[in-house]
Amino acid sequence: MRRLIEAPEIQQRVAQLGRQITDDYRGRPLTVIGVLTGSLVLVSDLIRSIELPLRVGMIRASSYAGRTTTGTDVSLDLNLLPEVRSRDVLIVDDVFDTGRTLTAIVERLKTAEAASVRAAVLLWKDRPREMQWTPDYFGFKIPDVFVVGYGLDYNDEHRSLPYVAALEPGDL
């Protein structure tokens, strides 16, 4: 593994995001919604950096190869979604890769009559995408490589690493 972002750098950047979100949502009814399982670590650090009263919920999203020519479909499990009507929703995910997951979630939440829907990610991969939509907050832009740590997994492992590392061919 090759370390890309060290733990103190992540802590500093997440604290900065928390301050920015605090300023942007002051006086608003904020609900933070994490996407399981990759956002777990970011959600727990980020909500402690936001100095506002807020609610927290989680949803699950999984992408699977569809039979359509567009490639991948996203299925959402909203069983844990709290009531978001008239609330300002901030979706939190680990990485903006193809962007399909977050686009699907944002579209779905708009139908739940939230007052507003924005998204925050730790990592933004530098790669071409088919959609115009992009997250409102991000921690770091990274090259288009497969990474693990700080919530991100490979085969459900490495999520608990406090840093972000790129997997190398020998790790796969």
The candidate with the shortest Cα–Cα distance to 164, out of 22, 23, 42, 17, is 42
Q: Please identify which residue in the block is written with the tokens 């936001």.
A: 50
Indicate which residue of 88, 93, 94, 97 is catalytic.
97
CB atoms near residue 113 (< 10 Å): 11
* Closer residue to ligand IMP in complex, CB, 83/130: 130
38 near Mg ion, judged by CB under 5 A:
yes
C-alpha distances out from residue 47 to 53, 88, 94, 106, Å: 10, 15, 14, 20
Q: What is the crossing angle of helices 7-25 and 40-47, to 10°?
A: 60
Residue 124 Cβ, how far from ligand IMP at the closest point, in Å?
A: 10
Q: Which is nearer to ligand IMP, 25 or 97 (CB)?
A: 97
151 binds Mg ion (CB under 5 A): no
Residue 88 or 97: the one with the smaller Cβ distance to ligand IMP is: 97
Binding range to Mg ion, per CB under 5 A, among 5-13, 36-44, 71-79, 133-141:
36-44
Whether 97 sits among the annotated catalytic residues: the reply is yes
- Rounded to a whole number of angstroms, the minimum distance from the CB of residue 23 to ligand IMP is 27
Least separation in angstroms between residue 157's CB and ligand IMP is: 11
Smallest separation, CB 166 to ligand IMP (Å): 8
Instruction: Quickly tell me which residue has 């790669």 as its tokens.
Output: 127
Return d(Cα 124, Cα 110) in angstroms, integer.
23
Residues 6 or more apart in contact with residue 107 via CB below 8 angstroms = none
Q: Which residues bind ligand IMP (CB under 6 A)?
A: 38, 63, 93-101, 146-148, 152-153
Cβ atoms of residues 154 and 143 within 8 Å = no
CB of 19 or CB of 131, closer to ligand IMP: 131
Per CB under 5 A, residues contacting Mg ion are 38
Active-site residues, by number, are 97
